[in-house]
């Protein structure tokens, strides 16, 4: 049981769902359209809930597209509308206005049978795993297939291959209570893949996990995306999850899109206040020991502490240390929080220069809006 078998089984299963074969010309045209058309499209989607206090707008005029095979992250604070937005893709939440299309099909217009077919193409994993405690790992993964009355031999072959894929081959007969949180989530991932989905929805899938386990689950999702070609849509409140796995990010605030773009661009140059607030825990601009001695006014014979910000666009391959140290005579490197996101070097570098050379800042190779004076320290601090 291996990945090659899974791919072959997926191709066979998907072929069985297809109508009669079209001509070669039609196939070529359809393939070209599939390569260029977004996999998922939101068009003017809104969601309103009615209650005693009146109407609550969970989503307002949401419009965007998700390309096929991408890992797309949706982030926002609690109550931003993330779960409502995610669940509109498989119609677990029915939009009040607008349309959601998957592969060009308006999912809001599907009848009950159409929704069943759609949901078999869309797997979903959850924060708290949603496993049946009285069933073994194998039976938890097999349950969706038993509902469709697949032959027992086919089910066992499929489940064993998926357990191998998620690294749980030796846990098939274990019960959920015998598993760690990360192992439970791996079972959830295997179960979500039983119908060979084309889309995988992740609803805060790592929120209940420790940092080390979170990294292992993100690595597994990345491997699944690359090996099976799935489109993955995840929601989270943690920007580090977005940084570590996503190709593109959408920021929700108050049910509205406030920012969207490639992850490195959004991290390097956030435009919305909500985005900057979400990024703040990842950015430790000033080390504690330096913050304690920083002064708002320059002392005699003092030094200015500068922050130089790199968004990743002007220096994608790295930062020239020679240029940094040439900002002024006797430039000193104090601290760096540079990171590489999607191949772009970005972050902040802290320097100190003599107060007497502040005029040199007008002649640096760096744009003025990337330089900021944070404060001042004594020469020998």
d(CA 310, CA 229): 33
Within the chain, all domains assigned CATH 3.40.50.300 are found at 3-280
Q: Which CATH superfamily is domain 288-378 in?
A: ACT domain (3.30.70.260)
Within the chain, all domains assigned CATH 3.30.70.260 are found at 288-378
Residue 299 has what pLDDT?
86
d(CA 364, CA 259): 31
Report domain 3-280's class: alpha beta
pLDDT in tens, the chain (381 residues): 455 555 555 555 555 555 444 455 554 555 555 567 899 999 999 999 988 888 889 999 999 999 999 999 999 999 899 999 999 999 999 999 999 999 999 999 999 999 999 999 999 998 888 899 999 999 999 999 988 888 888 999 999 999 999 999 999 999 999 999 999 999 999 999 999 999 999 999 898 889 999 999 999 999 999 999 999 999 999 999 999 999 999 999 999 999 999 999 999 999 999 999 999 888 777 888 898 999 999 888 899 999 988 888 876 666 777 778 788 888 889 998 888 898 888 888 999 999 988 888 888 878 888 889 999 998 876
Residue 337 has what pLDDT?
86
What's the pTM value of the predicted model, to 2 decimals? 0.85
151 beta partners: none
Residue 381 has what pLDDT?
61
Alpha helices in 88-202 (DSSP H): 112-120, 137-147, 152-165, 181-192
Centre a 10 Å sphere on the Cβ of residue 51 and count the other Cβ atoms it contains.
Answer: 7
Residue 364 has what pLDDT?
82
């Amino acid at each position: 049981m291996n990945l090659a078998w899974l791919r072959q089984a997926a191709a066979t299963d998907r072929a069985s769902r297809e109508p009669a074969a079209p001509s070669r010309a039609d196939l070529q045209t359809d393939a070209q359209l599939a390569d260029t058309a977004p996999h998922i499209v939101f068009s003017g989607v809104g969601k309103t809930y009615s209650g005693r206090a009146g109407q609550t707008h969970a989503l307002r005029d949401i419009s965007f597209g998700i390309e096929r095979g991408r890992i797309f992250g949706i982030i926002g604070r609690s109550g931003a509308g993330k779960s409502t937005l995610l669940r509109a893709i498989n119609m677990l939440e029915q939009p009040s206005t607008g349309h959601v299309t998957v592969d060009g099909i308006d999912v809001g217009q599907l009848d009950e049978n159409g929704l069943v077919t759609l949901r078999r193409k869309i797997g979903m994993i959850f924060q708290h795993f949603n496993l049946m405690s009285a069933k073994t790992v194998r039976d938890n993964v097999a349950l969706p297939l038993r509902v469709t009355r697949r032959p027992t031999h086919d089910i066992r072959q499929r489940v064993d291959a998926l357990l191998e894929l998620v690294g749980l081959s030796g846990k098939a007969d274990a019960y959920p209570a015998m598993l760690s949180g990360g192992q439970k989530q791996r079972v959830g991932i295997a179960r979500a893949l039983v119908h060979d989905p084309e889309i995988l929805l992740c609803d805060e899938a790592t929120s209940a996990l420790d940092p080390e386990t979170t990294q292992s689950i993100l690595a597994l999702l990345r491997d699944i995306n690359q090996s099976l070609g799935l489109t993955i849509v995840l929601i989270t409140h943690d920007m580090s999850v977005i940084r570590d796995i996503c190709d593109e990010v959408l920021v929700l605030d108050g049910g509205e899109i406030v920012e969207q773009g490639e992850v490195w661009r959004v991290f390097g140059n956030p435009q919305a206040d909500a985005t900057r607030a979400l990024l703040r825990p990842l950015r430790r601009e000033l080390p504690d020991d330096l913050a304690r001695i920083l002064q708002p006014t320059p002392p005699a014979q003092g030094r200015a502490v500068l922050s130089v910000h790199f968004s990743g666009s002007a220096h994608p391959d790295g930062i020239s240390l020679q240029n940094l140290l040439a900002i002024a005579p006797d430039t000193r490197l104090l601290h760096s929080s540079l990171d590489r996101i999607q191949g772009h070097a970005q972050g902040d570098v802290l320097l100190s220069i003599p107060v007497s050379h502040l005029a040199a800042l007008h002649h640096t190779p760096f744009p003025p809006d990337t330089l900021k004076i944070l404060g001042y320290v004594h020469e020998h601090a």
